[in-house]
Amino acid sequence: MGKDKLRKFTEIGAFENVYQLEEGLANKGLWAKSHFKNDHPIVLELACGKGEYSVNMAKAFPDTNFIGIDYKGNRIWRGAKTALEEGVSNVAFLRIQIEDILSYFDLDEVSEIWITFPDPQPQVGREKKRLTSDRFLDIYRGLLKQDGFMHLKTDNDGLYQYTLEKVADRGDEILLSTQDLYNSEILNDTLSIKTYYEKKYLLVNKNINYLKWRFKKPIA
Ligand SMILES: C[S@@+](CC[C@H](N)C(=O)[O-])C[C@H]1O[C@@H](n2cnc3c(N)ncnc32)[C@H](O)[C@@H]1O
């Protein structure tokens, strides 16, 4: 590990807004009460990297709690440090593998999930690792409140198509979809927040895909 990475890794250990691995387990079902000291809704950003969505949405929506999730500590460091420096207290970060997320949140604890520029994992043998494969969608279904929203933002056209088909095949409800967000009438202040990777793609004129959906209701 490089010196800078190691420094950031050590620093996040002392950040009050970062939970690493088992540190986060005690908050299961209690994130709002025990970390944020309120009863506001919880929104997750998965594959958050440097956490631009989490931090900027937290600033825009002070009555909502945001948690950015990624396994790379040196990336989480950026978002967590900004939040601490700017006094943004309604955002926290959790360094875990998303595969393990059900150990960290209770059924119905989460109101909304954003997946921002996940690795597309295009190889057939890597489908299980795709953050919108059936395995992951089943996991999200388990922690999202009924009528909670799912959002995917991606530069990868293949991942967008795959997710669109998957959502439709599962009988879930597609609410918004575009292959060219920045030339679309659905663009708004929240959707205009740009992540680190997104800025790089926009610089080379890559179209940005966006999908919003809701899981179907369970059979009564
Ligand atoms: C392409 S980066 C995007 C980061 C950020 N959302 C952005 O747009 O700048 C993908 C991120 O997903 C994280 N990631 C991929 N698979 C993961 C998993 N299974 N659990 C936790 N993090 C994961 C990586 O560590 C990486 O930071």
Q: How confident is the chain (220 residues) per 10-residue block, as mean pLDDT?
A: 85 95 97 98 98 98 98 97 98 98 96 98 93 97 94 98 97 97 98 98 98 85
Q: Can you tell me whether residue 40 is helix, strand or coil? A: coil
The pLDDT of residue 43 is 98
For residue 97, how far is its CA from the centre of ligand 1 (angstroms)? 10
Of all helices (H) and strands (E), which one includes residue 144? Answer: strand 144-154
Q: Which of 100, 119, 138, 157 is catalytic?
A: 119
CA distance 1 to 169: 43
Residue 193 Cβ contacting ligand 1 at under 6 Å: no
Examine the residue annotation and report whether 119 is marked as an active-site residue of this protein.
yes
Q: Is 86 in the pocket of ligand 1 (CB under 6 A)?
A: no
Q: Is the shortest distance between the CB of 45 and ligand 1 below 6 Å?
A: no
Residue 199, both tokens? 């800025």
Q: 172 alpha carbon to ligand 1 midpoint, in Å?
A: 25
Q: Let me know how many helices (H) and strands (E) the chain has, helices first.
A: 6, 8
Rounded-to-integer distance, Cα 3 and Cα 53, Å: 27
Tell me, what's the pLDDT at 22? 95
37 Cα: distance to centroid of ligand 1 (angstroms): 28
CA of 205 to the centre of ligand 1 (A): 22
Cβ–ligand 1 contact at 201 (below 6 Å): no
Find out whether the beta carbon of 198 lies less than 6 Å from any atom of ligand 1: yes
